[in-house]
Amino acid sequence: MIIDIFGDSFSDTSIRQQDSDTWTDILENNYNFKLKNYSKHGTGAQWCVEEFMKLDEHGDFLLFCFPDMNRVAFEYFNENEQAHALLIYNLMKDQDFAFPDTINKNIIDKSDRIFKDFESFYTSGLYRILEVLFVSFILSKSKHYNKILIWPSSGLGYPFRFYSDKIEIPSNCFIVNKSIHLIAQLEIQKEKPNKNNTFTFGKDSRNNHLSYENHIIFAKQINDFFISNVRPNYEEFKLACGH
């Protein structure tokens, strides 16, 4: 059974902070899936959808850890730098120019251009419809897969802020209503109350921003949906609801 996987640092398990297994290891070793993982840390939804469009062959299942739509893929920086470009814009918008030392100097040198291009992007109004367009394209491939699971990796999750009621969801597809990011943030807040933005600034010591316990739970919920049609249950995650 083959799972095609797309996403950002929550699903790019090629970069590891610890020696413990990740949820992709567990899917392969405990649940006997074969994974084709096209995820790339730091990328946004635009980059992932463009990579998805290149697929000529499809697996049995699709897991799309839908990244931040605001990580726009401007042509003058690479896919690894999309998250940092958005961070620079948000800091500049707040009149904060103390950029973290984890950001590449090459990106900082382009900060004025980044700010102007993001301002143009938001002024155009495109941000209001892109999320729905991206997700609708992913769901349009439902005939190629036994099941599709879209799990937002950023923000509050689904429903999205704009036009969620316009998305037609095929019967073999499901969109999770809580993001992986929220689980990761709750872990930080419960265990280290004074550590805000830990992984936002590139200093997270966890694999894929999740504790090992939640890697186990995440893998199980993916398996249970694809094999037994059991929808993911956010309340089962460690620390998500006071566990």
DSSP 102-163: TS-HHHHTTHHHHHHHHHHHHHHTTHHHHHHHHHHHHHTTGGGSSEEEE---STT-SS-SS-
pLDDT band (50, 70, 90) for residue 149: very high
Torsions phi, psi of 67, nearest 5?
Answer: -80, 180
- Tell whether 107 is covered by a domain: no
Count of domains for the chain: 1
- Tell whether 134 is covered by a domain: yes
Q: How much is the pLDDT for 77?
A: 85
Please spell the DSSP secondary structure of 204-218, one letter per residue: --SGGGS-HHHHHHH
> Average model confidence (pLDDT) for the chain?
89
| Structure tokens given for 8 | 């950002």
Give the 3-state secondary structure of residue 193. Answer: coil
Please spell the DSSP secondary structure of 76-100, one letter per residue: TS-GGGHHHHHHHHHHHHTT-----
Whether the CB-CB separation of 158 and 181 falls below 8 Å is answered with: no
207-to-11, 18, 77 alpha-carbon distances in Å = 10, 6, 25
- Tell whether 175 is covered by a domain: yes
CA R_g for the chain: 18
* 195-235 confidence digits (pLDDT tens): 555 455 556 778 888 989 999 999 999 999 999 999 999 99
* 34-80 confidence digits (pLDDT tens): 999 999 988 999 999 999 999 999 999 999 999 999 999 899 888 87
230: CB partners within 8 A, 6+ apart:
221, 224
Q: How much is the pLDDT for 195?
A: 53
Tell me the C-alpha distance between 158 and 79, whole Å.
24
- Tell whether 229 is covered by a domain: no
Give the 3-state secondary structure of residue 52. Answer: helix
- Tell whether 242 is covered by a domain: no
User: Strand 173-175's sheet: what is its strand order?
Assistant: 34-37, 2-6, 61-64, 147-150, 173-175
pLDDT band (50, 70, 90) for residue 111: very high
- Tell whether 140 is covered by a domain: yes
Q: What pairing do the DSSP bridges indicate for beta strands 61-64 and 2-6?
A: parallel
Residue 192 has pLDDT above 80, yes or no: no
Higher per-residue pLDDT: 14 or 227: 227
Domain hosting residue 144, numbered range: 2-71+126-180
- Tell whether 238 is covered by a domain: no
- Tell whether 86 is covered by a domain: no
